Amino acid sequence: MSEAADRATSAGEAPRIGMLGGTFDPVHLGHLRSAVELHEALALDRLHMIPAPQPPLRGRPQVAAEERLALLEAGIGDTPGLYADDRELSRTGPSYSADTLAELRDEYGASARLVMALGEDAFSRLADWHAPERLFELAHIVVMARPGHALKPSARLEELIGHREVADAQALMRSPRGGLLRLTLPSRMAISATAIRNRLQQGQSVRYLLPAAVERAAVARRLYR
Ligand code: ATP
């Protein structure tokens, strides 16, 4: 069990653990500010930010997984509660979130409040993911509002959601898994990695769209040119 789990368990409460997976090609302030506000809104002990080497439902990322992880580490810096987690880098084949959640569940134990967070754009495609029902058997799902990505659930997604939706974080945290919460975090940001890659490719400024350390590293390594 991790240090965070030890601490929470010794305080007599089940640990609250989040996972935010992504391509992070590259990580930006839309990810990082959402991560901080999610950590706060759910009173998480730790939020694992996990780059996928090969996300199953999209084209090959532009930059190698190790580079994306290094940018994520630079972006997180010393931010309390956020953790750049490299566990998917050692896996071969596609990166399935269900496998990652199963690992986290094993590490933190059956009573841990385990949350998989994702933006509305990613959630709208959830029914196409590998073993989507398994996600709810392992964790709660928290959907973060994202500017320009209003959610219109398909019939298959509606079916998957069923009666899982709860009104607030308190209701979600009453059980270790199986719930759905939609959250509108305070600082929604219309920032996407696609727009950042395009800007870098065209030699345009990306200042204040990503952390200064990430901008420096991307420029120094001539990434996304
Ligand atoms: P791309 O433009 O390459 O598709 P992206 O900016 O959507 O990338 P991802 O790495 O694909 O970034 O996103 C990882 C997770 O973070 C997804 O669940 C996504 O919905 C969420 N996310 C990304 N950007 C934001 C944002 N600005 N606000 C809230 N959630 C976000």
The model's pLDDT over 113-170, given as tens digits with 9 standing for 90+, comes to 999 999 999 999 999 999 999 999 999 999 999 998 888 899 999 999 999 999 999 9
What integer pLDDT is reported at residue 58 of this predicted model?
Answer: 78
Residue 4, pLDDT above cutoff 80: no
Q: How far apart are CA 11 and CA 204, in angstroms?
A: 49
Give nearest CA residue, ligand 1 atom 26: 30
Residue 102, pLDDT above cutoff 70: yes
DSSP 8-state class, residue 145: -
Q: How many domains does the chain have?
A: 1
Of 62, 120, 192, 210, the residue with max ligand 1 atoms within 8 A of its CB, to mutate for a pocket test, comes to: 192
CATH number of the domain encompassing residue 31: 3.40.50.620
The model's pLDDT over 8-61, given as tens digits with 9 standing for 90+, comes to 555 678 999 999 999 999 999 999 999 999 999 999 999 999 999 988 777 888
CB-based pocket (< 6 A), ligand 1: 22-25, 30-31, 34, 118-119, 121-122, 144, 146, 189, 191-194
- Is residue 198, in this structure, part of any structural domain at all? yes
Residue 200, pLDDT above cutoff 90: yes
- Is residue 168, in this structure, part of any structural domain at all? yes
What value does the mean pLDDT of the chain take?
93
- Is residue 123, in this structure, part of any structural domain at all? yes
Residues 6+ apart with CB under 8 A from 115: 16, 17, 18, 19, 42, 44, 139, 140, 141, 142, 172
Boundaries of domain holding 40: 3-220
Give nearest CA residue, ligand 1 atom 30: 119
Locate the ligand 1 atom nearest the alpha carbon of residue 117 and give its number: 18
Distance 119 CA to ligand 1 centre (A): 6
Q: Tokens representing 98?
A: 């269900």
DSSP per position, 50-73: EE-SS-TTSPPPSS-HHHHHHHHH
Average pLDDT over residues 78-85: 98
Of 57, 121, 208, 224, the residue with max ligand 1 atoms within 8 A of its CB, to mutate for a pocket test, comes to: 121
Contact yes or no for 4/15 (Cβ under 8 A): yes
What integer pLDDT is reported at residue 55 of this predicted model?
Answer: 80
Q: How far apart are CA 49 and CA 51, in angstroms?
A: 7
Beta-bridge partners for 119: 144
Distance 22 CA to ligand 1 centre (A): 7
- Is residue 157, in this structure, part of any structural domain at all? yes
Nearest 5°: phi and psi at 181?
A: -130, 130
Give nearest CA residue, ligand 1 atom 19: 119
- Is residue 204, in this structure, part of any structural domain at all? yes
DSSP per position, 151-192: ----HHHHHHHTT-B-SSHHHHTTSSS--EEEE--TT-----
pTM exceeds 0.85: yes
- Is residue 225, in this structure, part of any structural domain at all? no
Of 28, 31, 194, the residue with max ligand 1 atoms within 8 A of its CB, to mutate for a pocket test, comes to: 31
- Is residue 151, in this structure, part of any structural domain at all? yes
Q: Count the neighbouring beta carbons within 10 Å of the beta carbon of residue 73.
A: 17
Nearest 5°: phi and psi at 116?
A: -100, 120
- Is residue 60, in this structure, part of any structural domain at all? yes
Give nearest CA residue, ligand 1 atom 18: 118
- The two counts, helices (H) then strands (E), for the chain are 10, 6
